[in-house]
Structure 1
Amino acid sequence: MNRADHDLAFLLRYENIAWYEDGRVRILDRRIYPIRTEFVTCTRHEEVAQAIADMVTQSGGPYTAAAMGMALAAHECRGRPEAQQLAYLERAAHTLSHARPTTVAKMAVCTQSCLDAARAALAAGASDATDAVFTRALEDVNRKYERIERTGAYLAAQFPDGGTVMTQCFGETVIGMMLRACRAQNKQVRFLCPETRPFFQGARLTASCICDMGFDVTVITDNMPAYAMGQKKVAVFTSAADVITMDGHVVNKVGTFQIALAAQYWG
């Protein structure tokens, strides 16, 4: 498999998001990164669900964690009769996908894909579906990266060379892909990142990704965006989004609204 996470920041490499290996899932603790680089290690899929609920990983991280949690669940029930393994994995899929109430529908897509891989492996005679589930989890995240690479290239094309961009929250893979596209286009862009309370994803995660990938970045407090937009001549404002509706409305944390108003004011 040609991995789509090449040349991205540390935070966006698959192994540094969530990774299953030898009966354990390790998840980078984004609550403290980059002050400290530490991983939470889970030996049961319920622990993965709890880590997701506790915001150990944020933005797109929970989806990868849930998929890797399914690989761990497959390891837990390996060797049992096929019907028992499937029943166990169905319960695990529900536990993992419902770990965080705001993302249930999209998380269920990830866990269902892993469940389908397990079902196919067991139907083919395997007594242990762990490898099949892990492979599917890795393929799914890689396909997501490949898809978002197109989004990143489109977004980078909107940035004026030498311009200033403000980006809110942590857009995960989109951040990495737009920076990689800027680098490929030899486009110099400066970034402003509001800190993004309550978990400071902008100050810690977005800013560290931008810095890792060699771009100028300045963290500002959450009460500065309107002033900074005018004084720093921000050309483009981008935001992460929990949901984007079919008619173009962006749904995100409450603090994004005031920046959208400021962006409208400053054109």
Structure 2
Amino acid sequence: MNKELLPASLPRAVSWQEGEMFMLDQTRLPLETVIEKMETVEDVWQGIKVLKVRGAPAIGIAAAYGLCVALKPYRAQPLDLFMRELEKSSDYLDSARPTAVNLGWALRRMKNFASRMIDGAENSAALYDLLVAEAIRIHEEDKALCRGMGENGAPLIKEGMGVLTHCNAGSLATSELGTATAPMYVAHAAGVKFRVYADETRPLLQGARLTSWELQQAGIDVTLNTDNMVAHLMAQGLIDLVIVGTDRVAANGDVANKIGTLGVAILAQHFGIPFYVACPSSTIDFDTMSGTDIPIEQRESEEVTEFGMRRTAPEAVKVANPAFDVTPADLVTGIITEKGIAVAPYASSLRNLFPKEAAE
């Protein structure tokens, strides 16, 4: 499996080219494709905060490269100053968004790597080069994780099926094939004919702007629907399978994903439709025991009170705008990972699939 599963016209969320970091501004898709050079750590923080880059794996990759952006001016400084800046910039980047576990995971990995390598590094410039190489490894490893999820999840998609997905857990949210979309790309490449229903995903329309666009670019049969049409589609027998992504999986299998996912899971259970979650091992948080311990990001009211740059709500109205909700493990049919599909009870099946990560 390789990049040929994706069309060449589909841009990558994050890239590192000739010592510089570039980020696709996903807030401007699908009408404009704008790729920005990240000049400072503040640029990277802002890009994560305002969702120029989004999706747990892509956020982790951006954080790793963002730390390199932050440290680049310190290559000629003493190692102790370099390490202090690494700690400071890591804390700063980690503050951009609270729910996606890959953000903190990638930054901890980079810090731990630096701590292991510092004694053998001749100077800060040498340590910086090692950190860049580690960030590139994180990026490349995610590509392999996406392929693994694609291979393991593709057999779930049968000829003629209708597959529903929510938000964007596609190539734009990761390094390559996506999480929820990876099985779709693999099944499509194998010649399986199926149709995808993409939830619009209010309030920021990631399903409309991103998922429907990237699947259309890849030649996959995709139909866009608003979030409140899901029950009707299921009642009509149009949905046979649900696959969504996730920003954090707790040790017990509870899943935090884009707001609205819980409603889809409840509907799937009512209609007897399998509900699968696709995620790499880096998104499983064994230190978080259950979904009640997952912090839920609250976003700005303007995302709800405005639509298409036009105000659609009365002034001064109270607004609830949680970015995520938590789907309990008992609503999840299986969790698609790069090592296989975990099933209930998740507290044991996830640890059996990832004993090393669970022990760390």
Structure 2-normalised TM-score?
0.66
1:241 aligns with 2:259: no
2:211 paired residue number: 206
Q: Does 1:183 align with 2:180?
A: no
Q: Which runs of 5+ in 2 are unaligned?
A: 171-177, 273-360
- How big is each residue's C-alpha offset from its partner over 1:117-176, in whole Å with a ceiling of 9 and x where there is no partner? 445267321441443222211211221221232222222211111211011111231144
SS at match of 1:234: coil
- Structure 1: segments with no counterpart, 5+ residues: none
Map 1:7-26 onto structure 2 (within 5 A). Answer: 7-8=5-6, 16-21=12-17, 24-26=20-22
Following superposition, the deviation at residue 23 of structure 1 comes to 6.2
Look up the match of 2:262.
257
Distance in 2 (CA, whole Å) between partners of 1:200 and 1:134 is: 33
Q: What is the distance in 1 between the residues matched to 2:135 and 2:9? A: 18
Whole-angstrom distance in 2 between the partners of 1:11 and 1:58: 20
Establish whether residue 45 from structure 1 lines up as the match of residue 41 from structure 2: yes
1:73 maps to 2:94: no
- Could you tell me how far apart the structure 1 residues matched to 2:181 and 2:257 are? 20
- 1:107 match: 103
* Aligned twin of 1:141: 139
Letter in 2 for 1:97: D
Pairwise CA distance, 1:66: 0.8
Query: RMSD in angstroms over aligned alpha carbons?
Result: 2.4
How many residues are paired up?
A: 262
The corresponding residue for 1:219 is: 224
CA 1:106–1:88: 2 relative to 1, 3 Å: same
Alpha-carbon distance in structure 1 between the residues aligned to 2:4 and 2:112: 28
Aligned mate of 2:32, from 30, 36, 54: 36
Identity of aligned residues (%): 27
CA gap of 1:84–1:21, structure 2 versus 1, over 3 A, is farther
Query: 1:153·1:178 contact (CA, 8 Å) conserved in 2?
Result: yes
Deviation at 1:56, TM superposition (A): 1.3
Q: Secondary structure at the match of 1:114?
A: helix
Question: How far is the alpha carbon of 1:209 from its aligned partner?
Answer: 2.2
Structure 2 CA distance for aligned equivalents of residues 83 and 229 of structure 1: 59
Residue pair 1:5, 1:142 contacting (<8 A) in 2 also: no
- The SS at the match of 2:145 is helix
Contact 2:188 2:220 in 1 (8 A): no
Q: Report how far residue 113 of structure 1 moved.
A: 2.3
The CA distance in 2 between the partners of 1:236 and 1:112, in whole Å, is 36
Report which of the two has the higher share of helix. 1
Q: Please, which moves more after superposition, 144-153 or 74-83?
A: 144-153
Contact 2:79 2:124 in 1 (8 A): yes
- 1:223-251, CA deviations, whole angstroms, 9 ceiling, x for partnerless residues? 11111122252110122222233333332
Matched residue type, 1:92: S
State the TM-score, normalizing by the size of structure 1. 0.87
Deviations, residues 76-117 of structure 1 (Å, cap 9, x unaligned): 2111111111111111111112211223x5322212322344
| Cα distance in 2, alignment partners of residues 244 and 135 from structure 1 | 28
